[in-house]
Chains A and B, each alone.
Chain A
Amino acid sequence: MSHYGSTKEPLIRIVKRDGLKSWIGWLIRAGAILAALLICALFVFTITKLNPLEVYESMTKGAFGTTRRMWITFQDTALLLCVALGLAPAFKMKFWNIGAEGQILVGGISTAACMIYLGDVLPLWLTIIIMVVASSLSGALWGLIPALFKSKWGTNETLFTLMMNYIAIQLTAFFVALWENPVGSNTVGVINLRTRGGWLPEIGSNRMVSPYVLPVLIVLGLTVFMFFYLRNSKQGYEISIVGDSENTARYAGMNVKKIVLRTMLLSGGICGLAGFINVAGVGHTISTNVAGGRGFTAIIVAWLAKFNSFVMIFVSLLLIFLEKGASQIASDYGLNNEASEIMKGIILFFVLGSEFFINYRVIFRKNKKEEEPNA
């Protein structure tokens, strides 16, 4: 047809890929991370003029150099992972919960309140149970509020949850001023320093390891739970359907409103629990820095891992490794440790970009001669 011949085929065509084997997908992602690490090395090299391999070695020392450092790295990984586990169901449902910071903070506030008012009064096991319930309830409430407005009026949850973060930060500042100790320091200090009331118990006798064991174990338990919850439970199935298409879910007779509310209760609850671990198990104090940006970084973790909890372990370990490593570089060369944020950004940019090559095929225009032999 003359008409057909006159339209030029575009140089590059993009076609949706179907049924790509999942291991190839993970291979592409791993390649993207490698490429990103290469760029990061280049970046570090231009700044410090040092052999990147040596820098990565010094980073490894910073993260795993001693038994204690290694366990602190594990503990921080667990803290980040915990938030990511909380965010996974919400993000899988395409509910953009960027309010994890706030949910962690309110969980932390209620934990601190329990420690201060009950820690020295009740037996430890009872205090811990109360703290777990209080922190996850308050986190759940913080997550439920935006979900209520979203399901009733379609209020934009991205900005709503974001604003809830700031409300939580100010609320924390309010309680810090209320509980400050010693007066005038504008910090709460270590709560129950002498009596250790309400502190999560240490496990084992090795002082280098014992304080970090329980937080890691709790989060590992949550990881297993979340994996099967999302993959094998009816509720997990409903979450993935609502995430893919609300209309499909409605057509299948699912109560979308109920699913959204229930999932946000769970999501906020786990984030609140992360606040509990943070306050009762790690810092034993409350400040506006308790969440420390984890609420945002955890989004990256959940997204990169495609909501697979076991993959999340590796992603959070990678990010924490970069963080520890970057602060090691920073102290070695007198720079500040924000470099890890840059690296995080670069890695995520690459992996986000790589998704394209997992989902689509790029077809270049074929050579005219071989394409039209019989034209």
Chain B
Amino acid sequence: MIDSIIQWIQSAVAFGTVIMFGCCGEILTEKSGNLNLGIPGAMYMGGIASLAGAFFYENACLTAGSTPNAILCILIPFLCAFAGGALGGLIFSFLTTTLRANQNVTGLTLTIFGAGLANFFGGSLNKLAGGVGQISISNTSETYRTTVPFVKSTGFFGEIFLSYGFLVYLAIAIAVILSIFLKRTKAGLNLRAVGENPATADAAGINVSKYKYLSTCIGCGIAGLGGLYYVVDYTKGTWNNAGTIETLGWLAVALVIFTTWKPLNAIWGSYLFGFLYWLYLYIGLFGVETTRSTISLIQMLPYLATMLVLILTSIRKKKENQPPESLGLPYFREER
């Protein structure tokens, strides 16, 4: 009983970490007024970039006959993931900010593109490089999943709080830093001004395009880290074409609304989504008998919860819970 509760917590945290990265990235993006529906695509691009980076590094080590260096094992995929995600953000910003394309359609395209790119190379990279069978980056994955050394001696406490790789804590740190950045720094204030009313921000001398570009690219880079965590930890260094990243990415976008655009809420919100997502495996703990058909109904819960929050926030209309005023709207200086 207690074991399965711990298992539940651990899988919820793993699940939550993927979407926390995506959610934090999207909050940063949306604060600039860009509604980027390409977050799942950015996560895909980050994931595949990190997979490719790690794969080529491990292969190079293999042919050279040396053991992969732990620091490089961390650094290469990490930078690749951030760059891959940010590249998605760059495409989005260029099309929506510079070329003034529609944000919704551009975002959806980015998701289709990113998913295609990732699933294509995830499935064929090993073959293209002349290998056989499934792609695997076991060294990198193991390095990423290294925990603090004394977990075993700390019992339940350790298993619940310390049994994860460093990315889990990095996600929390990013959420906290993002919250401080948005609330307490001048750049954060400027960014919020851009998202609320770009015309006013422009008149106050803030470079609207610069803020939109930077926040979208960095936001997508952070989302790319979610893809990294998915590849190196969640699936333990392999690739599957099941489209899970896409589902997770959409949940991350939904989570932004759930958190009412506050990064700190993303921390507990994403774990809550994780609990709901895995509930069907552990619902037996509450003495509920399940069949396959009831399981599919239980799996609706995270989505139902999101819809409920969506509806409630729109009904209550509390001022501090509203999306940035200009979210999804283009800003052209000439059109006023």
Residues of A close to B300: CB separation below 8 A: 166-167, 170-171
Are A339's CB and B314's CB within 8 A? no
Q: How far is the CB of A77 from chain B (nearest CB, A)?
A: 18
Minimum distance in angstroms from B146 CB to a CB of chain A: 32
Cross-chain contact B91 with A349 (CB below 8 angstroms): yes
Residue-by-residue, is B78-116 near A (CB-CB < 8 Å gives 1, otherwise 0)?
A: 000000000000010011000111101110111111111
Bound Cα distance from A15 to B109, whole angstroms: 27
**Contact A299–B310 (Cβ < 8 Å):** no
A338–B310 contact, CB under 8 A?
Answer: no
Of B5-13, B163-171, B174-182, B249-257, the segment with at least 4 beta carbons within 8 Å of chain A is: B249-257
Contact A342 B100 (CB under 8 A): no
Q: What is the number of residues of chain A that contact chain B, defined by CB distance less than 8 Å?
A: 51
Q: Does B241 contact A (CB under 8 A)?
A: yes
Asked if B120 contacts A342 (CB within 8 A), the reply is: yes
Closest to B299 in A: A170
Partner of A163, one of B120, B254, B297: B254
Contacts of A335 in B (CB 8 A): 120, 123-124, 127-128
Check B67 for interface membership: any CB of A closer than 8 A. Answer: no
Q: How far is the CA of A334 from the CA of B131 in the complex (A)?
A: 13
Interface status of B52 (Cβ within 8 A of chain A): no
With A162-B254, A174-B293, A177-B291 already in contact, the answer to whether A155 and B108 are too (CB < 8 A) is no
Q: A156-B257, A335-B127, A336-B120 are in contact. Are A356 and B100 (CB under 8 A)?
A: yes
- Enumerate chain A residues within 8 angstroms of B336, measured Cβ to Cβ: none
Contact with A along B288-327 (1 / 0, CB 8 A): 0001110011011001101100110011000000010000
Are the CB atoms of B113 and A345 closer together than 8 Å? yes
Instruction: Kindly supply a per-residue 1/0 record for chain A positions 324-354, scoring 1 wherever the CB is within 8 Å of any chain B CB and 0 otherwise.
Output: 0000000000111011111111101100110
Smallest CB–CB gap between A192 and chain B, Å? 22
**When A344-B116, A349-B91, A352-B99 are in contact, do A160 and B109 touch as well, CB less than 8 Å?**
no
Describe A's contact surface by its main secondary structure.
helix
Verify if A71 is at the interface (C-beta below 8 Å from B): no
**Chain A residues within an 8 Å CB radius of B106:** 349, 352
Contact among B94, B257, B292, B297 with A159 in the assembled complex (CB-CB below 8 Å): B257
Q: Which of B245-286 contact A (CB under 8 A)?
A: 247, 250, 253-254, 257
A-contact bits for B197-214, CB 8 A (1 contact / 0 none): 000000000000000000
Residue of B nearest to A150 (CB): B314
Q: Does A297 touch B at the CB level, under 8 Å?
A: yes
The 23 sampled A-B contact pairs (Cβ below 8 Å) are A16-B334, A153-B314, A154-B314, A160-B307, A163-B254, A163-B310, A164-B307, A166-B247, A170-B297, A170-B299, A177-B291, A336-B119, A338-B115, A338-B116, A338-B241, A339-B120, A341-B112, A341-B116, A341-B119, A345-B116, A349-B91, A349-B109, A356-B100
Q: Which 4 A-B pairs have the closest CB atoms?
A: A341-B116, A345-B113, A173-B296, A177-B293
Interface on A for B, CB 8 Å cutoff? 14-16, 47, 96, 98, 149, 153-156, 158-160, 162-164, 166-167, 170-171, 173-174, 177-178, 186, 296-297, 299-300, 303, 334-336, 338-346, 348-349, 352-353, 355-356, 359-360
